Amino acid sequence: MEQVLCCCKVYISESRNKAALDAIEMAAKLYPEAPIVNKFEDVPYNRVGYTLVSKMGPDPNSTSPLKNAVFKMVEAAFQEIDLGRHCGSHPRLGVVDHICFHPLLGVSLDHVAGIAKSLAADVGSRLQVATFLYGAAHYEGRLLDSLRRQLGYFKPNATGNQWAGGPESETLPLSPDEGPPHAVHRKGIVVIGATRWVDNYNVPIFSNDMVTVQRIARRVSGRGGGLQSVQSAALAHGKGIIEVACNLLDTSKVGGNEVQVEVDRLARKEGLDVGVGYYTDLSQDKIIECYLKQLSS
């Protein structure tokens, strides 16, 4: 019988508070049918990404271990982390900055979009946090980068290209899809979506010249006339390093190797040295392999 698998990536604005991360991970373990198969911590960004996988039932509206596990993680994150005390060099809109569901095997995008919408309804009503939908989970299919721009995601609010503290105002520029019509200072807001598979690939550039690296990042991206299906941003990543952080929306067309070559080419023109890029998660195939190994053990 064919496996029917769905994946969820959960990005939380914290990597330095071990007690908080332990509590979040313990919450997920209440649903062993939806295990965490990968965890990626980034201290300069003060951000952690979790990848969970679960089998899916035929009805997206039925009880989903994956949705329940993610909800418990979100609930724990809000209990353990105060956005008002957070600081890091990665943009974020809330304690739980971003959640995305992806079909893996034998399941449709519409199916996982149903789970995303169900989770958003629970987060909005039960946790009272403004929640925004994107991708297949949104009725107009709006794009993540477009939503983030409208919400002011890419504008640092502290010196040194840092994001610090909670939202400056409770007023939101858009009406949320679920939850109260305002932001909560301690929690921020949540963005939840459903899309085809996305890889994240970051390339370090050894420089403190943010303007120049921003120009490189723009030229790498499809929006800037570069690699189609690539979204990119320049983010400070420790002393003397700025990363070109990329979302690869269609890995069958453009992968990390192509991004690496293009960043190298553009950086050489600017006289800058480039390091070896890296993925922030396992590949789609590797995630499936890790899940099946956990299941068999």
Characterize 115-137 residue by residue with b for buried, 16 or more Cβ atoms within 10 angstroms of its Cβ, and e for exposed. bbbbbbbbbbeebebbbbbbbbb
Has residue 256 got a pLDDT over 70?
yes
Tally of CB atoms within 10 A around 228 = 12
Q: Are residues 112 and 229 in the same domain?
A: no
Residues 6 or more apart whose Cβ sits within 8 Å of residue 122: 67, 71
Looking at the domain assignment, is residue 221 inside a domain? yes
The domain that holds 159 is classified in CATH as 3.30.990.10
DSSP, collapsed to helix, strand or coil, labels residue 183 as coil
Looking at the domain assignment, is residue 294 inside a domain? no
Q: Specify the pLDDT at position 57.
A: 72
Tokens of 41: 């911590």
Q: Are residues 164 and 29 in the same domain?
A: yes
Q: Are residues 102 and 23 in the same domain?
A: yes
Looking at the domain assignment, is residue 293 inside a domain? no
When divided into structural domains, the chain yields a total of 2
Phi/psi for 12 (5° steps) reads -120, 140
Which of these ranges, 1-5, 194-198, 215-219, 231-235, has the smallest mean pLDDT? 1-5
Q: Are residues 16 and 54 in the same domain?
A: yes
Q: Which residues pair with 94 in a beta bridge?
A: 188
Q: Look up 237 and say whether it is catalytic.
A: no
Q: Are residues 77 and 156 in the same domain?
A: yes
For the segment 198-215, the average pLDDT, to the nearest whole number, is 97
Q: Are residues 101 and 187 in the same domain?
A: yes
Q: Are residues 152 and 24 in the same domain?
A: yes
Q: Are residues 31 and 164 in the same domain?
A: yes
Looking at the domain assignment, is residue 232 inside a domain? yes
Contacts of residues 137-141 at CB distance under 8 Å and 24 or more positions apart, as own/partner, are 137/101, 137/113, 137/192, 137/193, 137/194, 138/177, 138/193
Mean residue pLDDT across the chain:
95
Q: Rounded CA gap, 250 and 221, in Å?
A: 13
Q: Are residues 184 and 210 in the same domain?
A: no
Environment class of residue 185 by beta-carbon count within 10 Å: exposed (0-12), middle (13-18) or buried (19+)?
A: middle
Q: Are residues 32 and 122 in the same domain?
A: yes
Looking at the domain assignment, is residue 286 inside a domain? no
Q: List pLDDT tens digits, range 118-157.
A: 999 999 999 999 999 999 999 999 999 999 999 999 999 9
Q: Are residues 66 and 115 in the same domain?
A: yes
Tokens 């200072």 correspond to what residue? 185
Active-site entry in 86, 90, 98, 138: 90
**pTM of the entire predicted model:** 0.95
Domain that holds residue 59: 5-196
DSSP, collapsed to helix, strand or coil, labels residue 113 as helix
Q: Are residues 156 and 248 in the same domain?
A: no
